[in-house]
Structure 1
Amino acid sequence: MVDPAEARRIQVRLCTAVSLMDDFGVLRQVAGVDVGFEEGGAITRAAVVVLQWPSLVLVEQILARRPTQFPYVPGLLSFRELPAVLDAFERLSRYPDLVFCDGQGVAHPRGLGIAAHLGVLTGLPCIGVGKSRLVGTHAEVANERGASTPLYLGDARIGCVLRSRKGVRPLFISPGHRVSQETAPRLVMQALTRFRLPEPIRAAHRLASAPAIARAAARMSGR
């Protein structure tokens, strides 16, 4: 197991392999990835849900668990979460054509959020969909569905801030691998239904949260 200092060095090295050019073919199946934890963080629980594109009909879903082996360190969450995510990907019947990750792509202090890290390790086109800002600055985004504004780290564009629904907090979209800055938000918009989050991530979140929800319901029923 690597320590945080070595993990940062790995990020600096791997970020050079990230491609921000559109490099994917026809999209037939896309995946959503979300990660949760059990037993106070001792167990990592990774959900990968595959949907048809563009119908967003469920094709396959995998839930993988493994002991958590890396501490919680801001900016290094992929080292904590990816081992279980990779376990889930190994159990898929086939790899998807593109992956939406709950987290950052290149909008990261060292350019390697979980979507970029997963993309480099698997070779898959990936997009990061963050619910909050990790780094960068941006102008105000209009309160209209589909409105966006660039996200910058210094002079470098690292993503965009996207209003997925009117009246809700915006999302922070950044390419992970093999997807361009322009295409990433467009695909996120195509993956939206009537909710704030794109459907592949919503589906993965439901699966990742299901055990916790079931335990909470059981506790409530016992009162």
Structure 2
Amino acid sequence: MRVATALLRALVVFALFACTIGAWSVGMSAAQPAVPSAGYKIDPEFTQVSTDGAISIEQYLNKDTDDDRKWQFWVRRQSTFTLLDPEPAGYPAAFIFTGDLKWIVRMQKTGSGEETLYLYRVIPHGTVPASKKPLGDLAWAYLKTRPEWRRIAKPPEYHKAAGLLKGLQDNYRQLGVDWPANRYLVITLSGDADIKGRKPMQTGVVHGWRCRYDLETGKFEAPEVFSDHNAKAVVPE
């Protein structure tokens, strides 16, 4: 009798477990569509391909009836076709791949004179975001921890932009550095503010401030090689 009861309990637990896994699978499928949503059409002009042709990112546009444009980004790699980010964007994006194809940086316009960065890790069956917040937001948060932030005449309010400094493909050799390949991203930050007594009122208070993001540790740094440049980058233009 005890054996039969134990067996029955085991069967119940197994059934509950199977139902849970099934529900989880359905949820995952719902969260990750297999194809672009209805109304989205590819714009081949914005398709970007890695240098070796192994990965391509296709951009799909849906122009709603209220003239609100929405973009989806899809990654095509070998036999997989996956949505890069579930949240659609208001503008097309530019993408850059690290030389080892382990990371994808998305340079995303967010408004007039404003842009940010997103970082994704490439995995066997698609991509995953490197962080919950955009990489650009994290870079701004890092600047606020630095001594330079206290020297800014007024925190930027307009045209806030986080961009990627050119030179990723050759590991930023133009900076005179000898960094390991595919290790760092150099991010630049710019933004305007209204400063009384200045004309025009909208003045660049952060213009091209640089920091380095370590892809291995997930940490931001401002190495000595940036010091002279960064000191000038927080002086109002």
Both proteins in one fold, TM over 0.5: no
Indicate the TM-score class for this superposition, using the shorter chain for normalisation.
under 0.3
Greater radius of gyration (CA)? 2
Structure with greater strand share of residues: 2
TM-score, normalised to structure 1's length?
Answer: 0.25
